[in-house]
Amino acid sequence: MAVEYFEDTRTFRLRSKDTDWVMQVVDEGYLLQVYCGAAVPDSDLSWLLRLDEPPFVPSVNMRDKGTFMDSAPFVYPCAGTGDYREPAFEIVAPDGTTASDLRYSSHRIYSGKPALDGLPATFAAEESGCETLEIVLEDKFTGLEVTLVCTAFEKLSAFTRSVRVKNCGIQPVFLKNVSSMCAEFDSSDMDMITLWGSWARERIPERCRLHHGVQYISSGRGTSSHQYNPFAALCVRNADEDSGEVWGFSLVYSGNFKALAEVTQHDCTRFIIGMGSDGFLWKLEPGETFTAPEAAAVHSLEGLGGMSRTFHDLWRQNLIRSPYKFRERPVLINNWEATYFNFDADKLANIASEASELGIEMLVMDDGWFGHRESDNSSLGDWFVNEKKLPGGLGALVERVKGYGMRFGIWFEPEMISPDSDLFRSHPDWAIQIKGREMTMSREQYVLDLSRSEVRECVYSQIKRILDSADIAYVKWDCNRQITEAGSLALPADRQQEVMHRYILGVYDLMERLVTDYPDLLLENCSGGGGRFDPGMLYYSPQIWCSDDTDALERLKIQYGTSLCYPCSAMGAHVSVCPNHTVGRTTPFSTRANVSLAGTFGYELDVTKLSEEDKSAIPGQIALYKKYGRLVRSGDLFRISSIFDDPEYHALMFVAKDKSEALVEYFQVLGRPNRRSRRIKLKGLDPDAVYFEEKAPEKTISGAALMNCGINICGLWGDCQSVIFHYIKK
Ligand code: DGJ
């Protein structure tokens, strides 16, 4: 049983694999968090609440109710009634006041978990059964009913939480903050790990010691953003890759968010993750319900590695819906770095013809095929083929590409509108804007007001016309700017602060239509590189373009940071040319391929201009992808060492779930003078089994020796060198 209720103490215990999350209804109906951590047999842990210590529960000592409110570990803390810490829930009541007071009203427990209206969310899957507890809290003053939807997964140490707010009152209430999850820790001796970044430098881990006060990351950009990812981990100070207690939190949402930790006066830590309150105010009419996105929490006693593997399993088993999630993805070649906007049908057909001979399976035509787009300054919104570039239309090009035995993919940027477009000329009001204010231009484009159904209809019908006009197997969905002047000309003044969320609901609506109408389409999300790499997007697309930075060494960093929360199978990773277009670095072709092997694998170059030596290496690289792709997609990732720990080398491995084989990737980042071999210890193998490395089948070695003694890496000479090993159980 994943969820239990103990009537005598009014205690709820959610058990996920070997982790407990315990809550209790105490006097006066407050719902408190008793414990979260390694599973324990006891059903009554109420001493942890210290209700027998001053200030006691309010019913015992009303004189100290304020102190109680400001120190109790609330499951869903609200503002204005004595808890001065960061709230998860904030409102503006019909009388203009901002206090709320949530008390237990009822609960129910059921097997499985519900889908969320219009929002991505994890679902029940056979591999990891789950049960759900819904607890209804009430704010009597306004008539708001807040339902916490709490799910525990039986075979993964993972929990999810989402929140529904129903206005059962008789007047509208404004919701200012409906965060998705709050966790309370009776300690402040922890580090917080977050992922920060920038364009071409996404998801760099940063680990900081918690300090008194509030520390947070957030996005107010309308996308989850390059700058901060909707992920945070809290871990004990000595937690490392393989040991120590870690809690990881992630928001299944692609828009604005906030993840915060507050260390309190009593050295406790409150953690909250959700959409945040900046620029958000949602008018809830009587009878209406608002649903906040889902957050996931993952617990590990095996350090950061254990946390990542649970996230990977959770997203792969319970979030990604695409039929491609475990299926081999076609090896694609994308023309962006090959041609940028400067292409026509002949150029693309030449690339396809040469690529197909090397074993590449799909040509993806990137930005620049529509309207009169010759650079990034026009035509977004005019999704009709530029016949000057593609004479005879899309069908003719697709047939040529198919003639080489390849499939075809295409790029769209459905959320945007160029000022120089027929769409903008006929519907200037369809851009997100504030009436009377200058619209900030970014990449010479504006953002479409996808909160409006007529706008979504227009964009979708154009996309559909293109997809129905030719045999298209793949779509790259790009999004190259963030929102400014958040406003909609279709909404009244008191709903303008709903725009950011309504926009994301509009994006999800479009994506849902796309994956429903084209169930076999391989959808890859992208946002100016990796600016929207979040779990919300994984619900629609099994892969997301990781970064516009395709340099091998930069990618080691980016893919390492990304792997803290996301599976490698979701990381769009391509081999490109050198000097690298972003950083100007030159690395060996084989190293670039080995880096991409730990992702979705593909090429982003003009194969007609490659040297014969590089070209001749491609069939072998594809063979490696075919051989190891399954391990990468469905195995367990073990990070051995990262370029952040030691700038000289980087190593990782993928182990089959049944431990029957493992792929080890070693990167010598910097050559070393007076070198001797470097020893690395493998991880995740069966200690009692005997393995051999494929190149030397006669030499067997126990899993215990591979993990405890390690292997020597030798023979690499120079910077950016790499080698891979394949260990097979005998
Ligand atoms: C940003 C993407 O990350 C690139 O791969 C490319 O598709 C460009 N946009 C096209 O404008």
**Do residues 729 and 686 lie in contact, with contact meaning Cβ atoms separated by under 8 Å?**
yes
So what's the pLDDT on residue 52?
A: 84
- Threshold 0.85, pTM exceeds: yes
Ligand 1 atom having least distance to the Cα of 334: 5
Output the DSSP codes for 336-360. HHHHTT---HHHHHHHHHHHHHHT-
Are 211 and 519 in contact by the 8 Å Cβ rule? The answer is no
Domain 649-729, CATH 2.60.40.1180 — does that match?
A: yes
Helix-then-strand count for the chain, H and E: 13, 39
pLDDT per residue over 612-644, tens digit each? 999 999 999 999 999 999 999 999 999 999 999
Q: List the domain boundaries for the chain.
A: 3-318, 330-467+489-518, 649-729
- Tell me: domain 330-467+489-518, CATH 3.30.70.3000, correct? no
**Phi, psi of 560, deg, nearest 5:** -65, -50
Distance in Å, CA 526 to ligand 1 centroid: 8
Q: How far is CA 223 from CA 58, 484, 565, 590, in A?
A: 42, 11, 18, 35
Measure the CA–CA gap between 625 and 254, rounded to whole angstroms: 30
Residue 127: what pLDDT?
A: 78
Mutate to test the pocket of ligand 1, among 199, 367, 412, 581 (most ligand atoms within 8 A of CB): 367
46-87: per-residue pLDDT in tens?
Answer: 999 998 887 777 777 777 888 899 999 999 999 999 999 999
Q: What pLDDT is attached to residue 1? A: 78
The token duo for 52 is: 């027998």
Q: Where are the beta strands (DSSP E) in 253-378?
A: 257-263, 269-274, 282-284, 289-300, 332-334, 362-365
What count of other Cβ atoms lies within 10 Å of the Cβ of residue 418?
23
Separation CA 194–CA 189 (nearest Å): 17
Residues 158/176, Cβ–Cβ less than 8 Å: no
Most ligand 1 atoms within 8 A of CB, residue of 333, 335, 339, 411 to mutate = 411
* CB-defined site of ligand 1, < 6 Å: 336, 366-367, 411, 478, 480, 526, 528-529, 545, 548
Residue of the nearest CA to atom 6 in ligand 1?
A: 336
Give, for ligand 1, the residue of 336, 376, 481, 543 to mutate: max count of ligand atoms closer than 8 Å to Cβ: 336
Centre of ligand 1 to C-alpha 401, Å, is 22
Give the Å distance between the CA of 217 and the centre of ligand 1.
26
In ligand 1, the atom with minimum distance to the C-alpha of 604 is 5
- Please list the ranges in the chain whose pLDDT falls under 70: none
Q: Which two three-digit tokens encode residue 241? A: 């890759």
Q: Residue of the nearest CA to atom 3 in ligand 1?
A: 529
Tell me, in angstroms, the distance from the centre of ligand 1 to residue 320's CA: 23
- Atom in ligand 1 nearest the alpha carbon of residue 529: 3
Amino acid 611: pLDDT: 98
Query: Which numbered atom of ligand 1 lies nearest the CA of 526?
Result: 3
How far away, in angstroms, is 195 Cα from ligand 1 center? 22
Question: How many degrees, rounded to 5, is the angle at CA 180 between CA 176 and CA 184?
Answer: 110
Instruction: Kindly list the catalytic residues.
Output: 478, 548
Per-residue model confidence (pLDDT) at position 573? 98
- Mention the CATH class of domain 3-318: mainly beta
Pairing of the two strands 362-365 and 332-334: parallel
- CA 280, CA 220: separation in Å to the nearest integer? 10
Nearest CA to ligand 1 atom 11: 367
CA of 702 to the centre of ligand 1 (A): 46
- Output the CA 581–ligand 1 centroid distance in Å: 13
Class of residue 433 by CB neighbours under 10 A (exposed 0-12, middle 13-18, buried 19+): buried
Residue with CA closest to ligand 1 atom 9:
528
Residue nearest to atom 10 of ligand 1 (CA): 367
**Nearest ligand 1 atom to alpha carbon 476:** 7
What's the confidence (pLDDT) of residue 74?
Answer: 98
